[in-house]
């Protein structure tokens, strides 16, 4: 089973990397870009066969290590 975790900064948290990308896109001629938020995607191969158990395990991973839940939000997809 595979899991994909998407981690993004919470709304309202300053994203200096996203702002740097937005600025760079503007200097390259992409003037229509109003905002950029940068995050990360983590793909995990799991031995689990039960979808609900796999999702619970990945959420625990996010809470303990993969996301800083003070400033980041995450979404889990199980395939």
Domain boundaries, the chain: 2-78
CA distance 78 to 55: 7
Domain 2-78 fold: Mth169; Chain: A , (3.30.1280)
CA distance 4 to 26: 31
Dump pLDDT digits (tens) for 2-57: 999 999 999 999 999 999 999 999 999 999 999 999 999 999 999 999 999 999 99
Core vs surface per residue 39-69: b (16+ CB within 10 A) or e: beebebeeeeeeeeebbebbbebbeeebbee
Query: In the structure encoding, which two tokens stand for residue 55, read together?
Result: 């999702």
Dump pLDDT digits (tens) for 14-23: 999 999 999 9
Tally of CB atoms within 10 A around 2: 11
């Amino acid at each position: 089973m595979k899991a994909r975790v998407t981690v993004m900064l919470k709304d309202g948290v300053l994203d200096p990397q996203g702002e740097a990308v937005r600025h760079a896109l503007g200097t390259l001629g992409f003037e229509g870009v109003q905002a950029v938020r940068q995050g990360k995607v983590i793909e995990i191969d799991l031995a689990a066969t039960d979808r609900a158990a796999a999702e619970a395990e990945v959420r625990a991973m996010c809470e303990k290590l993969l996301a800083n839940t003070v400033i980041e939000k995450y979404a889990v997809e199980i395939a």
